[in-house]
Structure 1
Amino acid sequence: MPESPSWLPEIIKLEDYGGDWGRFIESIYQCFRTDFVDNTAFFQSLRVAIQREPMLNGKEETFWHIVTCEDENKCRYPDLRRCERIRWPKAILDNFSDKHIKIWETVRGRDKRTTIWFEPLDYVVILSNKRNYYLLITAYCVTNKSKRAKLKKEYERSLKG
């Protein structure tokens, strides 16, 4: 794995909480709250909002989307790698001009989206482009070759205009 830049926060490990899942979730949720609920995040000078509803266990929809992944039955389940990197989305938004970050736009249905890929550590942040702000959709680790290849193809296509 390449060396992390100084601006990228350390991952938060479940082991640091003695394997106590409840304490771990509360801790990473507080990080999310600090970055996106109690403070305003920005990307390219526009506000980044989150989807608050539906709340689940007192936590916003976007939080759950960032710390879980979906299986083939469309059920969401916790993803430890996503949880550990809860502080990365805000750091990547704040440091979008880093030479290792690739940014491009795509259209998904009627939704225009911005993909922000920190390629050296295979981490992606997805925003939905609204009229005068962005909506944080999700963030995740790229874990397989086919997804990595798809991202590369999308990025290369975006360069051709």
Structure 2
Amino acid sequence: MAEWLPDLVLFEDYDGQWPPYLDAIYTFFEQDFVRNKPVYQGKRLGLKRYPEYEGKSATFWHMTSTGNEEDERIPDFRRCERIRWPKPVIENDQEPELKIWAEPKGKNQRIHIWYEDEGYLVVLDDRGEYILPWTAFYVEHEHQRTKYIKRWKRYTGQ
């Protein structure tokens, strides 16, 4: 693991209790994305706030849970453990171990920052005037990792 990545935030360090764990991971998210917004290639990132759930932004839920329906998302502990990773991945985009590419998404571009060695992907939505952190997640299965390598090669001509 790169020295610029913080340690994981483990559920068992909170005695396996969801409420204090949720509070802790939200505090880290708030510190990294609300109080001290990350910068990607000179652009400060905004935040996708809506739909909010339990007073927390949509971006937070996309970085800590999984599911297609906003109001039915379930916690993803691999995402939660890595809540401190999105900001350093975004801000260390010059690191050689990161694979970066953009894919068209409607009139916008989705920037993918793939830390292959750690199986971790951060997705940003480039809206031209500003960038939104969209999601970040751990890619568990080898076939999924292979898919992201193929996409990186396709969009970068590697």
Fold in common (TM above 0.5): yes
The normalised TM-score by structure 1 is 0.91
- Deviation, structure 1 residue 110: 3.1
Letter in 2 for 1:79: D
Provide the residue aligned with 2:150 in structure 1.
153
Provide the residue aligned with 1:36 in structure 2.
33
Structure 1 residue 5 corresponds to structure 2 residue 2: yes
Provide the residue aligned with 2:52 in structure 1.
55
The normalised TM-score by structure 2 is 0.93
Alpha-carbon distance in structure 2 between the residues aligned to 1:68 and 1:40: 21
Provide the residue aligned with 2:61 in structure 1.
64
Structure 1 residue 23 corresponds to structure 2 residue 20: yes
Which digits, 9 at most, give the CA deviation of each residue in 1:96-121, with x for residues without a partner?
11110000010123331100001100
Gaps of 5+ in 2: none
Which digits, 9 at most, give the CA deviation of each residue in 1:83-103, with x for residues without a partner?
010000001012111110000
Gaps of 5+ in 1: none
Provide the residue aligned with 2:133 in structure 1.
136
Q: Which runs of structure 1 show a deviation greater than 4 angstroms over 4 or more consecutive aligned residues?
A: none
Is residue 47–residue 132 contact of structure 2 (8 Å, CA) maintained in 1? yes
Secondary structure of 1:132's partner?
coil
Letter in 2 for 1:9: P
Which digits, 9 at most, give the CA deviation of each residue in 1:28-62, with x for residues without a partner?
00000000011221111111111112221111111
Alignment RMSD:
1.7
